[in-house]
Amino acid sequence: MPDYDTQTLRDWDRRHIWHPFTQMKEWEESEPVVIVEGDGSWIVDSEGNRYLDGVAAIWTNVHGHCRHEINEALKAQVDRLEHSTLLGLTNDKAAVLAKRLAEITPSGLCKVFYSDNGSTAVEVGVKMAFQFWRHEGQPEKSRFISFTSAYHGDTLGAVSVGGIDLFHGVFRPLLFPTIQAPAPYCYRCPMGRGTPAACGMECLAELERIMESHAGEVAGLVIEPLVQGAGGMIVQPEGFLRGVRELCDRHDILMIADEVAVGFGRTGAMFACGREGITPDIMALSKGITAGYMPLAATLATQRVYDAFLGEYREMKTFFHGHTFTGNPLGCAVALASLDLFESDRLLEKLPKKINKLKEKLQGLIELGHVGDVRQCGMVAAVELVRDRATKEPFAWEERVGVRVCQEARTHGVFLRPLGNVIVIFPPLAITVEEIDFLVDGLAKSIRTVTEG
């Protein structure tokens, strides 16, 4: 139990915490739920209420909360070494983890650059790609292609390659301009087409046109493989990612895959790129890397990218980038314990049954009057609520339908977060099939209550 009563904690929070992505005026008038414990797929508040964690501690949790084996690994590491530095030294856990990451990521990624959150992992990738072409004697290759609805984090470089106006618009004057390509948001196809089968993925043809019109200018393309997360859990049609890889190859553009949200099993495979059999030139990892325990991130690169940075000191080919907590041994020890659990729990082997269960349960939601689209990729799913299914007219933003559905879900013991009118389902991978029932049933009831009165 916490050291202070709920009201005291709420008061201190309202007085002193400035919450992320939160209208604080509203928050100050609310009675925040104070989470004090975690247990498997559940989180527990200071009053003893339990909620199924439908967002996996903001898309990070893999093996459940407070998993004994990870707790023990963390305790053992903290008794040996809490932090050192990768500036002039290495440490055992960082070295072992780098080797294992090189083994499990798509073949060809062999160099690991550590940082501590998803935004920096992407930003490192962008800077690497930019500097790479300078070393290759092609400094004119300096621009980036990114996608509409993309989200790569909140630091300025990551925001520059983002494409969500609501979050990023205000900062535009501070950002470097990018070349935006249409995301394959099939429910609201930017090319005005129907299903991917019917259109032959015209968005790929459009991407190629964009590459051709910027021939010789593009350093890299940044993409969230298979699922665009914060943009609304937009699931890409099969083959899109492979098509992007082919286009990057054809136009000699470095492909930066942001697997911050989808890495570590989320899509049913260890990495989303693996599902389409591709290797990006650069890959950003965070969130699931420590199964949701510690802030850690890694940017992986191929030998080709890395080799461009080798030279005599005076040649100024060094990658001048690094954060204080780079390669933190606590984070690395936890990441190693998580990888062990993937094996000992045979987690990936168990996923198809859960994925099918989720799929079957989601079928039930399609019947609800205001569910416009249900999309799923492995253990991530989204339900897009609309005012009118026939016209796909969205609910007005001010109606806050998504927020209200998630608020209602709490009364059914389920914690969810919306992205506008899209309800995201992103539970710990350790969730059981019975818990999937509970989660989707709670969501269905909540959607009914809010949208049907």
Q: Is 118 annotated as a binding residue?
A: yes
Q: Is 85 annotated as a binding residue?
A: no
Q: Which of 111, 135, 141, 152 binds ligand PMP (CB under 6 A)?
A: 152
Give first-to-last CA distance, the chain, whole Å: 37
Spatial separation of the C-alpha atoms in residues 378 and 294, rounded to whole Å: 24
DSSP secondary structure string, 93-121? HHHHHHHHHHHHSSTTEEEEEEESSHHHH
Q: Which stretch binds ligand PMP (CB under 6 A): 105-113, 145-153, 238-246, 410-418?
A: 145-153
130 or 426, CB closer to ligand PMP?
426
DSSP secondary structure string, 417-446? -EETTEEEE---TT--HHHHHHHHHHHHHH
Q: Is 287 annotated as a binding residue?
A: yes
Site for ligand PMP, residues 224 to 283, rule: CB under 6 A: 224, 229-230, 258, 260-261
How far apart are CB 326 and ligand PMP at their closest, in Å?
Answer: 15
272 or 368, CB closer to ligand PMP?
272
- Whether 256 and 282 have beta carbons less than 8 Å apart is answered as yes
Q: Is 229 annotated as a binding residue?
A: no
Three-class DSSP category at 72: helix
Site for ligand PMP, residues 45 to 84, rule: CB under 6 A: 59
41 or 149, CB closer to ligand PMP?
149
Quickly count: other Cβ atoms within 10 Å of residue 104's Cβ: 13
Q: Which of 38, 153, 157, 288 binds ligand PMP (CB under 6 A)?
A: 153
260 or 308, CB closer to ligand PMP?
260
Spatial separation of the C-alpha atoms in residues 151 and 20, rounded to whole Å: 15
DSSP secondary structure string, 370-405? TEEEEEEETTEEEEEEEEETTTTEEPPGGG-HHHHH
Spatial separation of the C-alpha atoms in residues 231 and 380, rounded to whole Å: 14
| Placement of tokens 């190859």 in the chain | 249
How far apart are CB 444 and ligand PMP at their closest, in Å?
Answer: 26
21 or 313, CB closer to ligand PMP?
21
Report how many residues bind ligand PMP under the rule CB under 6 A: 15
199 or 425, CB closer to ligand PMP?
425
Site for ligand PMP, residues 17 to 46, rule: CB under 6 A: none
Site for ligand PMP, residues 280 to 299, rule: CB under 6 A: 286
Distances (CA, A) of 227 to 266, 273, 287, 366, 447: 10, 11, 15, 20, 23
Spatial separation of the C-alpha atoms in residues 82 and 65, rounded to whole Å: 22
Site for ligand PMP, residues 94 to 123, rule: CB under 6 A: 117-119, 122
Q: Which stretch binds ligand PMP (CB under 6 A): 63-71, 141-149, 223-231, 346-354?
A: 223-231
Distances (CA, A) of 240 to 100, 149, 308: 28, 16, 29
Q: Is 417 annotated as a binding residue?
A: yes
Query: How does DSSP classify residue 415?
Result: E
How far apart are CB 199 and ligand PMP at their closest, in Å?
Answer: 25
CA neighbours within 13 Å on the CB side: how many for 296? 24
How far apart are CB 168 and ligand PMP at their closest, in Å?
Answer: 13
Cite the annotated binding site for substrate by residue number: 151, 287, 322, 417
Tell me which residues touch ligand PMP (CB under 6 A): 59, 117-119, 122, 151-153, 224, 229-230, 258, 260-261, 286
Residues in binding site for pyridoxal 5'-phosphate: 118-119, 258, 323-324
